[in-house]
Amino acid sequence: KNQVEQSPQSLIILEGKNCTLQCNYTVSPFSNLRWYKQDTGRGPVSLTIMTFSENTKSNGRYTATLDADTKQSSLHITASQLSDSASYICVVSPEASGGSYIPTFGRGTSLIVHP
């Protein structure tokens, strides 16, 4: 069964500090991995996406890395801001024939940034 495990479940940091969120997956065959940010009471919004051949992708202060061999990804947030307080969700999609497939969602990491 395809699974996506995220850690930690929750994290509290001070404003201005850096942090790293982890994602391990068993989805196979792998196609792509995406990190979403979900603010409280809102729908998820895509931050980054990486395919098999990519091992790093940045979006402003967010940098995602991918190790397809160990099936691990991380999301690094630099110089955190209060607005970074949100849930961060890792989503992994399989490679499938016929154009029809289902992505697997992790349960998310809840990040709280304190002033």
Partner 1 sequence: NAGVTQTPKFRVLKTGQSMTLLCAQDMNHEYMYWYRQDPGMGLRLIHYSVGEGTTAKGEVPDGYNVSRLKKQNFLLGLESAAPSQTSVYFCASSYRRTSGGAYEQFFGPGTRLTVL
- Could you list the residues that contact partner 1 (CB under 8 A)? 31-32, 34, 41-46, 49, 51, 89, 91, 93, 95-97, 99-103, 105-108
| CB 14, min distance to partner 1, A | 25
Please, which residue, 19 or 57, has the CB nearer to partner 1? 57
| CB 52, min distance to partner 1, A | 9
Please, which residue, 72 or 94, has the CB nearer to partner 1? 94
| CB 16, min distance to partner 1, A | 29
| CB 21, min distance to partner 1, A | 14
Please, which residue, 15 or 59, has the CB nearer to partner 1? 59
- Phi and psi torsions of 83, nearest 5°: -70, -10
Please, which residue, 73 or 93, has the CB nearer to partner 1? 93
Instruction: Identify which of 49, 10, 11, 48 has the alpha carbon closest to the alpha carbon of residue 30.
Output: 49
